[in-house]
Chain A
Amino acid sequence: NAGVTQTPKFQVLKTGQSMTLQCAQDMNHNSMYWYRQDPGMGLRLIYYSASEGTTDKGEVPNGYNVSRLNKREFSLRLESAAPSQTSVYFCASRHGLAGGAEAKNIQYFGAGTRLSVL
Chain B
Amino acid sequence: GESVGLHLPTLSVQEGDNSIINCAYSNSASDYFIWYKQESGKGPQFIIDIRSNMDKRQGQRVTVLLNKTVKHLSLQIAATQPGDSAVYFCAERSYGKLTFGQGTILTVHP
Residues of A within 8 A of B (CB): 4, 40-45, 90, 102, 105-112
Contacts and interface: CB of A to CB of B under 8 A. Distances in A.
B45 A43 contact: no
19 contacts: A42-B4, A42-B100, A42-B102, A42-B103, A45-B97, A90-B44, A102-B32, A102-B51, A105-B49, A105-B93, A106-B46, A106-B49, A107-B46, A109-B36, A109-B43, A109-B45, A110-B43, A112-B41, A112-B42
Nearest to A31: B96
Interface of B: 4, 32, 34, 36, 41-46, 49, 51, 89, 93, 97-103
Nearest to A4: B43
Nearest to B98: A107
Contacts of A40: 102
B43 A112 contact: yes
Nearest to A106: B46
Contacts of A102: 32, 49, 51
A41 B102 CA distance: 5
Given A90-B44, A105-B93, A109-B43, A43 B49 contact: no
Given A42-B102, A107-B46, 8 more contacts: A4-B43, A42-B103, A102-B49, A106-B34, A106-B46, A107-B34, A109-B44, A109-B45
Contacts of A45: 97-98
A65 B44 CA distance: 23
A108 to B, nearest CB: 7
A90 B43 contact: yes
A42 B43 contact: no
B49 to A, nearest CB: 6
A107 B102 CA distance: 17
A108 B43 CA distance: 9
